[in-house]
Structure 1
Amino acid sequence: MTDPKRPHDTGDFVFDARQELSGMLADGLDHPSTKPVLVWAALGAVAGAALPFVSIGMGLAAGAGYKFYKRVRPD
């Protein structure tokens, strides 16, 4: 079944991730995925600062990566 909100979903994760990332880079903050990914990156950075043995950068990357993955593969 095709999601009407994601008309270009091909089922290939790498292709879909490249399309999503190129859209985010082209549209900037106007793209619907940019703001949620940035929010989760900030939350990950805060969590990384609070947790021992986890750096801020690692938390930032984990938060942004998680939300980006969930935007590409919502199920």
Structure 2
Amino acid sequence: MNDPKRGDNLIDNAREEIVGMAKEGLAHPSTKPVLTGAAIGAVAGAVLPVVSWPLGLLAGAGFALYKRLRP
């Protein structure tokens, strides 16, 4: 089970990470991997016929952030 006291809650961890990236910009260690994931997702979304690039961008950024939080 996820225990908020131990910091295992994915939503809280993601919020902390996103706030940290917003405050520190490119100096934050997660910013560059998440931006890279967003770019890869946008390119994949542009190439795939069913998915648009904004959806690919969000999916790529979300996946990269998830992999930073839960390797």
TM-score range, shorter chain: 0.7 to 0.9
Ranges in structure 2 where 5+ consecutive residues have no aligned partner: 1-5
Ranges in structure 1 where 5+ consecutive residues have no aligned partner: 1-8
**CA–CA separation in structure 1 for the residues paired with 2:12 and 2:58:** 21
Q: Deviations over 1:5-40 (max 9, x none)?
A: xxxx71111111111111101100000000010011
TM-score (norm 2): 0.87
Residue 41 (structure 1) aligned with residue 38 (structure 2): yes
Counterpart position of 2:56:
59
TM-score (norm 1): 0.83
**CA–CA separation in structure 2 for the residues paired with 1:20 and 1:27:** 10
| SS in structure 1 at match of 2:56 | helix
Residue 24 (structure 1) aligned with residue 21 (structure 2): yes
Equivalent pairs counted in the alignment come to: 66
Q: What is the CA RMSD across the aligned residues, in angstroms?
A: 1.1
